[in-house]
Structure 1
Amino acid sequence: MQILITTSVLSRPRVVQFTPWRLALALLALTLPLMVVSLLLYHALLLKAAHEHWPIISEAVRFVERQELAQRDRYMRENLDAMAVKVGEMQARMMRLEAVSERVAGMAGLKPDELKKIEAETGAAAGGPLVSLAEANRDERRTSNQLLQDLNTQMDSLQGLGDRHGDVLTLIESHLFEKRLDALMVPSIAPVDGPVGSGFGFRADPFTHRAALHTGLDFPAEPGTPILAAAGGVVLSAEPHPQYGLLVELDHGNGLVTRYAHTSKMLVKPGDLVKRGQAIAAVGNTGRSTGPHLHFEVLVEGVQQNPARFLNAALAAPAAPTSQKSNARGVN
């Protein structure tokens, strides 16, 4: 297609020729700006209509929003159903574990009254069955956020119950070793000269403030105070630990190991032979600790025992670690 353009009788006419491709590009160049402007106007119109509550458009916008919210709510409820089933299975396992713990506790010589005392000290609380959570999920009046909050509460409760069972089982295992401990008793000395700040047993963790099993004896002392080997043995390890800080471990044979944690300086190395009363480290505040002290542990076959059983009869160990008050405390 050709278009002749003339400006006067004497001037030469100009010829503009349009091919199909040129026509298509010209139409596209005109159409795109019109589409963009139309979309912007449409979007602005919808926002204005929704904001000012125009009769028809605002109802349509709210309908679309309700549909999207309902779809998201259905999706969340379906996922919450699946999660509630999993949490219900976990709760059933916890109940079986609690029954096993009670049976093993009886075999270990722990009386039911002692277990009830532990529950009272740890503040363990049992929740209701998780079937109620599934029923609540079918209640259309409850929002997904409320159901998710209930599920998180159940998960936190189960986690706390699991931690308590783990500590109780450790204590039960400790009682099962009592007869063997009688044969492994050796004359020993306190690794640090001074009173015990926190004893073996359940207490409030100094960092989380939750009840936890304290697996040794704490001896508050000035930094640099010599730490003595409680018994003769071989240095099993002498290295930093993320929880215990600078840690020294002595192997006394027959599965008996002692630990000396949170030290400021180690005076021995792995493989060294040490005598009873020999200085092996110095008191410090390394690792997860709130003040300078020695955290002393005794392990039999890898299970923490009450170190007071291995120390001289003159050492008075605290019966209830939660009643002991000291500024120097460790996590262990």
Structure 2
Amino acid sequence: MAGLLPDSNGEQQLKKPYNKRRYHLLIQQTGSSSLERLEIQSNLVKVGLMALVVVILGVVTGGAYLFGELHAKNRMGHLQDENQLLAHQLDQVKGELGGVVGEMDSLVEREQLLRVRVDLPPVDADVREAGIGSLVPLQDEVIADARVEELLSELDHLERRLIVTRQSFSEIQDKILDDEDRLHYIPSIIPLNEGRLTDGFGYRRDPFTKRMAFHHGAAFSAPRGTPVYTTADGVVKRVYKAPGYGNMVEVDHGLGYTTIYGHLKRATVRSGQQVKRGEQVGEVGNTGRSTAPHLHYEVRIEGTAVDPLDYFYEGYFMWAGR
């Protein structure tokens, strides 16, 4: 019902009636035709809805938290399994690395022996071990595991040794190639394919004077006309006649080496001609001071005669002594 209320000026005004909103629910029981009316105030409905929202939010939040916890535990389990697997694989790699290190040690031993054989100085131990700085980057996250750090350190050391050893083998190869090139110019074969050694280097009884005299080369008896071959690469220095040795050929091989072929029937080369080891330079003869067809062969180093037998390969030496 409406009433009159005084305002701030003392005047009366009409009071608005209080209209409170209500909700009505009609309920009918099963098997009954009567309806029951239930009144619910609007503020109670609001409170109920708010409570329902709070409950739903709580359930969702709690469920999300529990799901996160379960997921984290599940992931932790997987990470632990992976960690164990990685640890096992790490042990396997370390074992295999030990085998590689053993092979590397064996390789270094062979390399050291080769350096000795080709007359190269040994690699300094400090150079072999020092390397050229860190080759394997060590990340902070892996340093935490001592086994990983140890493995990386061994890999770094192995790679350092590998670099030095590879450089050493390259040096050995260059030396061998250089020596092979030099070997072409060093007398090293018998100058005949047939015949026999009759006199060696040193003192002997001269067949003409019957006195002891020094023989500066080696004498090979062979049939007249037997081919005579140069014993190393070189250049024909002289084709000439000498009072004692008859028709002669002298070949300059470089590196201080020269060879002389005497008592030839004839020379088959000319002065200044390039010759290769095994190339014919003349024929066995009996010219000069000679009692029968044979070859006088000399090897000289810087003009001094040396024993030719010291410059034959083992197989040739056996042939010469038959």
**Is TM more than 0.5 here?**
no
Greater Cα radius of gyration, structure 1 or 2: 2
TM-score (norm 2): 0.41
Normalized per residue, which structure has more strand? 2
TM-score (norm 1): 0.39
